[in-house]
Structure 1
Amino acid sequence: MRIGFMFAALFAGVVTVSAAPLFALSCMPMDVASNFRVADEADESYVIVRGRVTVEEQPWELGREDRGSHRFEYKSYIARIDGQVAGRRGFNAAFSEAIEFRQACRLWPDLNVCEDTGARAAEQDDEDMIYFLRKTEQGYDFTTGDCPGGVYPATRSNVRQVRRCMAGQDCRAAWEN
């Protein structure tokens, strides 16, 4: 009995340790510089805003979509961002807009990772954050998925990095240095 338990515990530990790197590689962490380059190379237009979010409407389900063998659920909510938009000289121009926040979640059996998208921004409205917002015909939106990105704390180093990137200076991700 003890041998069976020890084998099961050892097997569970090996599976956990070996799966962790695979999961970690599936969501490489973004930083301000790498996100800036992705947005800069995208077909869509983006603005970078430093500010605070206030949730105006509660989340609602947009629907589900199959992509290959995976099923995704989309939810969104409306929130207001009050702050400043980035330009070549930093965050100088006032910005106050209602934004549609969208969250695309891969559906896993018996696991709902898309339960409450409204809490995501509501938790962030007590401090300034840096958002990469996509410009649309209706205004702006912010879309995130299973792997987070596009929103960062407005720390001094992140604000300086945005300024460097906007001015065409050194715009390398921290892990590239």
Structure 2
Amino acid sequence: MTRFIAFALATLAPLPAAALTCLPHSVEATYQRADKAEESFVVVQGRLTFDATALPDNGTGNQNPPQITRLPAQISGMALSEGGFDVPFEQPLTLEVACYGPWCGSAEEGDVLAFVEQSPQDGYLLESNPCGGNLFTAPKPAMIDQVKTCFAGGACTPAR
């Protein structure tokens, strides 16, 4: 009987959580992906604002969050051109936060480096997913310099 109880209790124990494996989230990898995409992208350094209370749970309690959460947002800053980040850019956009199972992308209001998709039908779209997506929060100066280097045709190889 003791064996049966131990077996029954073992079957009720939580299983180890499966891990989400992502490639390193880097400016170089995101730049290359955007550069090769059929869609058009604008690289923007600026301030992102949206209603953060509408974000999905990010796996902390809801084990079945929606696959995609779309939020109205605004980005104000400067877009990248041959001269650097020197083109004023202030646009409403859709922040699209994807979830892969219980893991969800994240976003924070504030300073960002964003690879914003420009769609003739849908306007501007900014995607975040559990592996990073097209959004970098609180970008470091080295990240800004690196995306300028990529844009200018310089070294743009993601670290492994």
Return the TM-score normalized by structure 2.
0.73
CA distance 1:94–1:56, change in 2 (3 Å): farther
Q: Is the 8 A contact 1:50 1:83 kept in 2?
A: yes
Q: How many Å apart are 1:89 and its aligned residue? A: 2.3
Once the two structures are superposed, the pairs formed by residues 116-127 of structure 1 within 5 Å of their partners are 120-121=106-107, 123-125=108-110
Asked if residue 159 in structure 1 is aligned to residue 154 in structure 2, the reply is: no
Between the aligned partners of 1:36 and 1:60, the Cα distance in structure 2 is 25
Once the two structures are superposed, the pairs formed by residues 52-131 of structure 1 within 5 Å of their partners are 52-55=47-50, 59=54, 73-108=67-102, 113=103, 120-121=106-107, 123-125=108-110, 128-131=111-114
Between the aligned partners of 2:28 and 2:49, the Cα distance in structure 1 is 26
User: Which of 108, 111, 115 lines up with 1:132 in the alignment?
Assistant: 115
Q: How many Å apart are 1:56 and its aligned residue? A: 5.9
Between the aligned partners of 2:128 and 2:145, the Cα distance in structure 1 is 24
CA distance 1:124–1:29, change in 2 (3 Å): farther
Q: Percent of aligned positions with the same letter in both sequences?
A: 27
RMSD: 3.2
Q: How many Å apart are 1:106 and its aligned residue? A: 2.9
Q: Is the 8 A contact 1:89 1:163 kept in 2?
A: no
Runs of 4+ in 1 over 4 A off after TM superposition: none
Between the aligned partners of 1:94 and 1:56, the Cα distance in structure 2 is 23
Between the aligned partners of 2:157 and 2:123, the Cα distance in structure 1 is 29
| Counterpart residue identity of residue 36, structure 2 | E
User: Which of 144, 147, 167 lines up with 2:128 in the alignment?
Assistant: 144
CA distance 1:101–1:157, change in 2 (3 Å): same
Structure 2's unaligned 5+ residue stretches are 1-5, 57-64
Q: How many Å apart are 1:72 and its aligned residue? A: 5.8
Task: Tell me the residue number matched to 1:65.
Answer: none
- Larger helix proportion of the pair: 1
SS at match of 1:133: strand
Between the aligned partners of 2:127 and 2:33, the Cα distance in structure 1 is 14
Q: Deviations over 1:61-83 (max 9, x none)?
A: 9xxxxxxxxx9622111111010
Structure 1's unaligned 5+ residue stretches are 62-70
Between the aligned partners of 1:89 and 1:49, the Cα distance in structure 2 is 13
Single out whichever of 141-150 and 164-173 deviates more from structure 2: 141-150
